[in-house]
């Protein structure tokens, strides 16, 4: 008997697979930090983006015909989007993970849709609906519960609030990237925009690494082979592959349905952190996590959200 999946089932499978792969990011990062004192956010970002760059350059080359008659202003916005969204935002995230748990990092990052709605309301000078205000209150209230519980129950070396601030700043940067994205996709096309923006982010990351590292080649040669393999996994399995999967999911299901499936991401990260990092969430933290997810879903899936 021949087995086949419908377009909806295939899209759901792609969205679930992308959510799982994205959820492994913090696990890979935390494990890599424990392997060598030479590894920090800048080094690991360089390994990740260096591994992913050839793929995104290939996308750029395939879609090079889409770059004709595009204004210089749009190119400048594209460069800004790439640097904010996948270079600076990722660097803040990787650095913040040096100080807080993978579970808390994922919950804080999951706030980015609420940040996008808040920013849009200011830009368009529109009042937030009661539903949006409630959703934001739930998501931030849940995040604060998880955050305060971790701060009080897990020993830290004085950098806990620095880690929280860095990851929240990462979410702000990614929300800013999303605000720039719709217009630029119209100008460049979806795949072309993805390839260009992420190639710019990769180049920005590698430039940062070379500038701040006195002897970058010597440093890389001193890293344990396992660290290099983890960097490759972060580039291919956690960056390139889920980017392709989520694009295919959205083309089959639409953004809202894909986002709903992707909301399982924080829970997957927490379960993976428990299994591989020995992290633990108490019942109050799980309650906060659920509030966060409900609030973000209300924002993401609302038909009346600001645009």
The domain ranges of the chain are: 7-301
Q: What is the pLDDT of residue 307?
A: 41
Q: Is the pLDDT of residue 306 over 50?
A: no
49: which 2 tokens? 């983006």
Average pLDDT over residues 140-150: 92
Q: For the segment 95-107, what is each residue's pLDDT rounded down to a tens digit?
A: 999 999 999 999 9
User: Do 50 and 239 touch, CB atoms closer than 8 A?
Assistant: no
Q: For the segment 109-129, what is each residue's pLDDT rounded down to a tens digit?
A: 999 888 988 888 888 788 888
- Element (H or E) spanning 172, and its range? helix 160-188
User: Do 91 and 45 touch, CB atoms closer than 8 A?
Assistant: yes
DSSP 62: H
């Amino acid at each position: 008997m021949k087995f086949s999946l419908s377009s909806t089932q295939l899209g759901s499978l792609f969205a679930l697979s992308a959510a799982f792969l994205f959820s492994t990011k913090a696990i890979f990062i935390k494990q890599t930090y424990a392997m060598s004192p030479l590894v920090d956010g800048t080094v690991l970002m360089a390994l990740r983006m260096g591994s992913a760059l050839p793929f995104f350059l290939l996308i750029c080359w395939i879609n090079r015909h889409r770059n004709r008659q595009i204004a210089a202003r749009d190119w400048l916005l594209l460069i800004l989007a790439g640097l904010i969204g996948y270079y600076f935002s990722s660097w803040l995230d990787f650095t913040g993970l040096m100080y807080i748990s993978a579970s808390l990092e994922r919950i804080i990052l999951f706030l980015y849709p609420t940040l996008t709605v808040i920013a849009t309301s200011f830009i368009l000078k529109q009042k937030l609906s009661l539903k949006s205000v409630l959703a934001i209150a739930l998501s931030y209230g849940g995040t604060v519960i998880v955050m305060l519980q971790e701060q009080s129950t897990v020993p830290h070396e004085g950098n806990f609030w620095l880690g929280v601030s860095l990851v929240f700043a990462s979410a702000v940067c990614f929300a800013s990237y999303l605000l720039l994205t719709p217009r630029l996709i119209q100008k460049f096309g979806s795949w072309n925009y993805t390839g260009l923006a992420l190639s710019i982010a990769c180049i920005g990351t590698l430039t940062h690494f070379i500038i701040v590292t006195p002897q970058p080649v010597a440093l890389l040669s001193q890293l344990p082979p396992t660290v290099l393999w983890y960097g490759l996994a972060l580039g291919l399995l956690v960056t390139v592959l889920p980017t392709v999967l989520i694009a295919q999911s959205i083309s089959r299901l639409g953004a809202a349905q894909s986002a709903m499936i992707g909301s399982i991401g924080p829970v997957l990260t927490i379960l993976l952190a428990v299994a591989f990092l020995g992290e633990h969430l108490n019942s109050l933290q799980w309650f906060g996590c659920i509030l966060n997810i409900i609030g973000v879903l209300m924002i993401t899936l609302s038909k009346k959200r600001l645009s």
